[in-house]
Amino acid sequence: MVELYYIEDDPGIALIVKEYLEQKNFKVTICETLAQAGQALKEHVPTLVLLDWNMPDGHGDGLCQWIRRNWKELPIIFLTVRGDCADIVSGLGNGADDYIVKPFELEILHSRILALLRRTGNVAKQYLSCDGIRMDLNRHAVFHHLEEIFLSEAEYQLLLCLMQNKGKTVTREKILEQVWDANGNYVNNNTLTVTMKRLRDRLHQPECLKTVRSVGYRMEDTL
């Protein structure tokens, strides 16, 4: 399923677009301000962003540039009225991939989204997130909100194991097998305990990283 953030302050337009795209098997989250969209992106990265140019708290180009600094490949489509087209074309140089002029046909919007996704693929798969923790798999990078966190290879692999199984309890045995034994490094339970403690410290003791006593660990969203 394609997950889409739609940043639009007109509730009537937002609802029409949301209902149409959900009939096409999209999951649509509406953000009514740029600030709300920024907060949502810090917590989770969607497949694509639909961004209205004129918002109550500013123009969309500022958010577009911010997205590009943090999620370089994330597809973005601007939505605008005809009078702002010159600014939008300029905004494409700041990182947007396409723009559509209001009023638009829903079928045209859908076809432009599909065309963009054919060009870019689902780049959201390279990002794993839980609450304010984010992994960029292509860059081998970890962030707590927007702060980059530098982990050892064992800490990174431990976090990756839990992120890839978000919402599920991962047993200590499975973690030991996947993180260490797969590389021929046979360690005991104490190594996992120490590595987990270091990981929690580096990530500022996140609430989303749970201990399941006598079993293992689980990552789950709490926000």
Q: What's residue 85's pLDDT?
A: 57
The yes or no reply on domain 127-219 and CATH 1.10.10.10 is: yes
Write out pLDDT tens, residues 38-48: 989 988 889 99
What per-residue confidence (pLDDT) applies to 121?
Answer: 81
Residue 115 phi, psi dihedral angles, 5° rounding: -65, -40
Separation between Cα atoms, residue 192 and residue 161, nearest integer Å = 13
- Per-domain boundaries in the chain: 2-121, 127-219
User: pLDDT per residue over 100-147, tens digit each?
Assistant: 998 899 999 999 999 999 998 888 788 898 988 999 998 999 999 889
Spatial contact of 176 and 195, defined as CB atoms under 8 Å apart: no
Task: Read off the pTM.
Answer: 0.77
Return the structure tokens found at 12.
């009537």
- Cross-strand pairs, 128: 135
Give the alpha-carbon dihedral of 166, 167, 171, 175, to 10 degrees: 0
pLDDT at 183 over 70: no
Residue range 2-121, CATH number:
3.40.50.2300
- The whole-number pLDDT of residue 220 equals 94
